[in-house]
Structures are given as C-alpha cells and as structure tokens.
Homo-oligomer: A and B are copies of this chain.
Amino acid sequence: MLHADRLFSPDPAQREIARALYTQIKDLPLVCPHGHVDPRIFADPAYRFSNPAELLIIPDHYIYRLLYSQGIPLENLGIQRMDGLRDVSRSALISPYPDESFFRRVWQNFAENFYLFRGTPTGIWLADELTNVFNINKKLNADNAQEIYDGIQSRLRSPQFQPRALYEQFNIEVLCTTDAATDKLDSHIAIRESGWSGRILPTFRPDSVVKIDMPGWGENIERLSAISGTTISNYASYLQALENRRAFFKSMGATATDHDAQSALTINLSHQEAESIFQRALRNKPEPGDNQRFTAHMLVEMARMSTEDGLVMQLHSGSYRDHNPLIASRFGRDRGADIPVANEFTRNLKPLLDRFGNHPRLTLILFTLDESTYSSQLAPLAGHYPALRLGPPWWFHDSLNGIHRYFDRVMETAGIYNTVGFNDDTRAFPSIPARHDVWRRAASDWVAGLLVQHIIDEDDAQAMVKALAYDLAKSAYRLE
C-alpha cells in the first residue's frame, strides 16, 4: 500500500537523489522535543491502549474537525460532551471502556467518511500508521471497517503494542511532553523511578498561570502557591514561584518551556505596573488590556528567566483559541476550533529582543501559523539575532506542502542552522513515526532539489539532511 518513493518529487533525477539521501537518515533515532503525548501511558509499564477509536480518532482533533466540517456531529465521533455524555476520551487513559459497540460505531462513522482525507496530511499519516504500526494492508472503507477494527484491536492486546514497547520499536531517543506549570509531574517521577530506559522529559508550560483572563486562573495561582511552597501575594512572589517550578522541571530533565499567545506582542512593563495588573487580577478586577499587556510582559520575564536557568523558550503565537462558542460550551476547550489569525513579529518582538536578542544563553524558538511571515519577518529575524531560532512548520502547516513552503521561504535567508529540525507536536502517539517520516522525506527531497540544481554539493547534502532529521533538534533543544 505504501510506495517506497512516496512524497518525493516525480522528477527521476531528483527522486533518485532524494531516495539515496533518505536512505541515509530514515533509521536515525527520533528526537521529539515538542509534543503532547500523555506521560501516563509510559508511567504504568502494563498500560494498554483500549481500542482503535479511543486510540486513533477521539483524541485527534485533526481528524474530527474535518468530519465535523462536513456536518457529522462530534457526538457521533465519540467526543465527550460537557453535559454528561459518558467520558470516552479521558477514561481511555485509565482502562479500556467496556461498551465496545459504541467504539465500533464511532469507527464505522470514521471509515465511511475516510474519503474526506484524500490528499490531506492526516490521510498520509493514517495510511502510514495502519500499515507500518498495525500491519493493516487495506484502505479503510465502510465495508472493511469492522474487520480492520478487529485487526487493530487484536494487536492492541499484545505486549508489543504497549506504549513502552512502541517507544522502543519507534526508535525514539527522547520524547518531551508538555506540562502545566502546576503539574506535579507524577508520571515523570514514576517513569524515572521505574528504571525504564526511555527518555520522557517534561516541558514547562505556564499559560494557565500567566493568562490572567483564563477561566480558573485564580485557582491555578492557588495551586501554584501550594505546589511551589511560595505564598503568592504579589508579583514578586509570583515570579519566585514560577522560578521555583522551572527549577523543579529542570531537575526532572526539562530543557525547554512553551508559551502560547494570540499575538507575539512583548512589552517591558515596569515592576510597578506589572504589580498593579497582578493585584487587579488577584482581586478579579482586571481593566481592559490588562491580560494582553501582562501576557506580553511575561514573555519578556520568561526570556529573562531562560537567560538565567538555560531553559530553551518556545513561543507558539497566532491561534484564536476556541473560536466556535457552540463547540466550546458543548465539548469544552481544545476541540479543533482554534483558527489562526494574522501575526506580526518584527515590531511585536522588539521589546524582548532589545533586552535579550543578543544574549548568548537565550534560545527563543518561534512558531507561526501565518506563513506570510516566513520570508518577510521570521527568516530575517532569525538570520540576524543570535538568540532566535525558527521552529518547524506548525499545526495546519505540518503537511507536505507546508514543509515545502517552509523550506522554500525560510532557508535562503535564515540558513538551515537557524532552524531546529522537526517537532511532531502530536498527542497521537502512534502517528509519531509517520510524521517524522514525512519530514525526513520532504527534507531529503528538498536537499535533492538543491543538489540537482547544483546549488550545493554532495558533502553539503549529506550534512544537511542529517542536520534536518536529527542534529538540529538535539542541539537547539539542548538535548545532548
């Protein structure tokens, strides 16, 4: 079902070179510096995935958003409602759910609409996953849906499909999760204590204690107080608590932090103004603009902390979260209704860069959902500031064409050495090899294109594909 030359240019000369380059890198270990796999699946050595629907469909908003866009209710895809429909997605992490017919119906709905994924990255990943992970050699459709369900299900019961076994089979060298600042990192502690050799590292994500307009911010601050052992009564103790947590994450192996913001705006507030906003937030009496200004200011504070503790800073900006209020109210947050907005970096990042853009200890990795900024702003910024690096194509752009555009628009100005290789950025654990494979094929093909156009020579080409597939991620994220 999967062709050996898939995703390569049709040109025979370029394809032959691409294949040769790909052969050199395809078996390199996978470095996964940014993603959303739940660490609990590795904490319990006996953990098993429940069933195909809970594993492949219900947690994957890439899949259900497209089905929803064609009018298929999320309920029919197994997504849990806030109002009491049973918790199919969460329970999946605890134990197989008893009612198999429910999951079989979800799977059937998916199979009947599988044609919607023609030509999409999800279609590519799923084909790879079914073939290479589950050894299913048929294209999914309405007729064979239950047979394929059975095939996957039977494999999920075998020990070699337990998460730790898959981690090893996938040849993962390191896998970083994303964890709230207030997370106790119990799973990471359990993994470490278990003596298992897999390298699962936390990443410090403070959004829920930084965005003062987020529902539950007050409770999150209380939680942060408790877990850091720091009474947070003012801005100074708030910073101290954050520094405390960063130190704890670092002690648990974290090498990076991660920050989400609708815009890349950064501001240097005076201590006094930061304090005022913080106090208003504690009293739940924000003024207009407080959230935006405080978030923008905290990005600079986080950069400052990175210059001190050496954690690599990631900034993911440009997503309008929970754009569809019906979905948010019925199914909760993060249900595939996040839509990108236009983004600006040159002016917005200046306050941060004025302070730390030349700092030798800072690495700030930028991500964008607005591809028009690649060539005009991000590549020139990364091609100048020592502290800046560009993250790989993100989210909607983590696709074959998205990767092509990234190479074509970024690399000439930034050079590959101001980029950081690949992130799979996924919560769908079994899709990790497929995602890295798309990147490695696309990178091989791009470098082959440079070679066949005589822009680089063979030595360059070999160094470049290895850097893109492996070295850059490892060095940029300080995972050495």
Binding site for B on A (CB under 8 A): 2-3, 5-14, 65-66, 68-71, 115-121, 123-124, 139, 318, 320, 323-327, 336-337, 339-342, 344, 346-347, 350, 353-354, 357-358, 360, 369-372, 375-377, 379-386, 388, 396-397, 399-402, 405, 408-409, 411-418, 447, 449-450, 452-457, 460, 463-464
Given A346-B320, A383-B69, residue A400 in contact with residue B120 (CB < 8 A): no
19 contacts between A and B (CB under 8 A): A6-B454, A9-B453, A10-B14, A10-B449, A10-B453, A65-B383, A117-B415, A120-B413, A121-B412, A123-B456, A323-B353, A323-B384, A326-B358, A339-B380, A340-B380, A341-B344, A341-B346, A341-B376, A401-B408
Complex CA distance for A118 and B446, rounded to whole angstroms: 13
- Measured between C-beta atoms, what is the minimum distance from A350 to chain B in Å? 7
| Contact pick for A325, options B123, B354, B452, CB 8 Å | B354
Contacts A69-B385, A119-B464, A324-B385: A7 and B416 contacting too (C-beta < 8 A)?
A: no
Nearest CB on B from A449, distance (A) = 7
Q: A120-B413, A399-B412, A401-B408 given. 8 additional CB < 8 A pairs?
A: A11-B11, A12-B13, A68-B384, A119-B415, A119-B460, A324-B358, A326-B357, A376-B396
Instruction: Name the distance in Å between A119's Cβ and chain B's nearest Cβ.
Output: 5
Verify A412–B400 contact, CB threshold 8 A.
yes
Q: How far is the CA of A354 from the CA of B13 in the complex (A)?
A: 51
Say yes or no: A360 contacts B71, CB within 8 Å.
yes
Task: Tell me, in angstroms, the Cα distance from A97 to B200 when the chains sit together.
Answer: 56
The residue in A376, A381, A411, A464 that gathers the most chain B C-beta atoms within 10 A of its C-beta is: A376
Q: Are A418 and B69 in contact (CB under 8 A)?
A: yes
| Nearest Cβ on chain B to A389's Cβ, whole angstroms | 9
Q: How far is the CB of A117 from chain B (nearest CB, A)?
A: 7
Instruction: With both chains docked as a complex, state the minimum distance between the C-beta of A247 and any C-beta of chain B, in angstroms.
Output: 26
Q: Would you give the shortest CB distance from A244 to chain B, in whole angstroms? A: 30
- A379–B395 CA distance with the chains assembled, in angstroms: 12
Smallest CB gap from A139: residue in B: B457
Residues of B within 8 A of A358 (CB): 324, 326-327
In the complex, what residues of B have CB within 8 A of residue A357's CB?
324, 326
- Cβ-defined contact, A10 with B10, below 8 A: no
Contact with A372, one of B65, B69, B371 (Cβ below 8 angstroms) = B371
Q: Is the CB of A453 within 8 A of B7?
A: yes
**Given known A372-B376, A455-B119, contact A69–B388 (CB-CB < 8 A):** yes
Residues A382 and B456 in contact, CB atoms below 8 Å apart: no
| A464 contact set on B, CB distance < 8 A | 118-119
Q: Which of A320, A370, A412 has the most CB of B within 10 A?
A: A412
A214, chain B: closest CB distance, angstroms: 19
Q: CB < 8 Å: which of B69, B123, B347 contacts A382?
A: B69
* Cβ contacts under 8 Å, A411 to chain B: 119-120
| Closest partner residue, chain B, to A371 (CB atom) | B375
Closest 10 CB pairs of A and B: A3-B454, A6-B454, A372-B372, A399-B412, A10-B452, A10-B11, A340-B376, A401-B408, A71-B386, A339-B346
Check if A376 sits within 8 Å of B386, measured CB to CB.
Answer: no
A375 and B10 alpha carbons, distance in the complex (Å): 24
Instruction: Contact check, A460 vs B118: say whether CB atoms are below 8 A apart.
Output: yes
